[in-house]
Amino acid sequence: MAKRSLALQLDEVVQAMLVSLRPRPEKAPDHELASLARVAEVLRDLPREEFRAALKSDLQRRASMSEGTAARTGEAKAKTVHYQRPGLTAITPYIIVRGAAQFIEFLKSSFEGVERMSVPTPDGKIMHAEVAIGNAAIEVSDGSEAYPNAPAAIHLYVDDPDATYARTLQAGAISFYAPTDDHPSGDRWGAVKDAFGNHWYIAKPKGWTPGPEGLRSVQPYLHLREAHKMIPFMEAAFEAEAMGVHKSPEGIVHHATIRIGDATLEIDEAHGEFQPMPCHLHVYVPDTDAVYARAMEAGATSIEAPRNAPYGDRAAGVKDPWGNSWFIATYLGQ
Examine residue 14 and tell whether it contacts other proteins (CB under 8 A): yes
Listed residue (11, 61, 62, 63) closest to 40, CA to CA: 11
Build a one-symbol-per-residue string for 45-84: x at contacts with other proteins by CB under 8 A, - elsewhere. Answer: xxxxx-xx--xx-xxx-xxx-xx-----------------
Quickly count: other Cβ atoms within 10 Å of residue 236's Cβ: 15
CA distance 154 to 266: 9
Which one, 18 or 305, has the nearer CB to other proteins?
18
Number of residues that bind other proteins (CB under 8 A): 36
> Cβ of residue 15: shortest distance to other proteins, in angstroms?
8
> Cβ of residue 127: shortest distance to other proteins, in angstroms?
17
> Cβ of residue 10: shortest distance to other proteins, in angstroms?
5
Strand, coil or helix: what is 134?
A: coil
Examine residue 159 and tell whether it contacts other proteins (CB under 8 A): no
CA distance 205 to 233: 28
Antiparallel, parallel or unpaired: β 280-284 and 91-97 = antiparallel
Listed residue (263, 262, 278) closest to 222, CA to CA: 278
Which one, 68 or 251, has the nearer CB to other proteins?
68
> Cβ of residue 61: shortest distance to other proteins, in angstroms?
10
Run of H or E including 290? helix 288-297
Examine residue 108 and tell whether it contacts other proteins (CB under 8 A): no
Which one, 62 or 125, has the nearer CB to other proteins?
62
Listed residue (128, 131, 109, 110) closest to 118, CA to CA: 128
Q: Binding other proteins by CB under 8 A: which of 28, 40, 81, 298?
A: 40
Examine residue 28 and tell whether it contacts other proteins (CB under 8 A): no
Which one, 27 or 48, has the nearer CB to other proteins?
48
Which one, 10 or 231, has the nearer CB to other proteins?
10
Taking the CA atoms of 82, 308, 148 and 118 in sequence, report the sign of the dihedral they define.
positive
Which one, 6 or 303, has the nearer CB to other proteins?
6
Examine residue 39 and tell whether it contacts other proteins (CB under 8 A): yes
Examine residue 115 and tell whether it contacts other proteins (CB under 8 A): no
Examine residue 35 and tell whether it contacts other proteins (CB under 8 A): yes
> Cβ of residue 302: shortest distance to other proteins, in angstroms?
24
Give φ, ψ of 250 to 5 degrees.
Answer: -85, 0
**Which region, judged by CB under 8 A, interacts with other proteins, from 2-10, 88-96, 137-145, 227-235?**
2-10
Examine residue 31 and tell whether it contacts other proteins (CB under 8 A): no
CA distance 247 to 233: 17
Kindly list the residues in this chain that would bind other proteins in the complex (CB under 8 A). Answer: 3-4, 6-8, 10-11, 14, 18, 35-36, 39-40, 42-49, 51-52, 55-56, 58-60, 62-64, 66-67, 310, 312, 334
